[in-house]
Amino acid sequence: EAMRESEFTYDVDYLMNHNSGSILGDAAFLTFSNTPDKPSFLNVTLRNATFTLFCVEVLETHIPGTTTTGGDDTFADYLSCNDNGNATDPQCQCDNYIDRKISGMDPDLNCRTRRGTRCEPETWVKDCVCSCTESSLEQSARFTGMMPTFPNQNQAGSLGVWYSHPKDAECSETEEVGVRRGDGSFCTWKRRPAARVLRGWQVLELGWNASQA
Residue spans of the domains in the chain: they are: 2-95+132-205
- Tell me the per-residue pLDDT of 20-72, one tens digit each, with 9 for 90 and over: 999 999 988 887 766 899 998 889 999 999 999 999 999 999 999 999 999 99
- Contact of 97 with 103, CB cutoff 8 Å: no
Instruction: For residue 210, name the pLDDT band (cuts at 50, 70, 90).
Output: low
Write phi, then psi, for 68 (nearest 5 degrees).
-100, -10
Helix (H, G, I), strand (E, B) or coil at 81: strand
User: For 6-32, what is each residue's pLDDT tens digit?
Assistant: 999 999 999 999 999 999 999 888 877
| Global confidence as pTM | 0.92
- The C-alpha atoms of residue 33 and residue 46 are separated, in whole angstroms, by 6
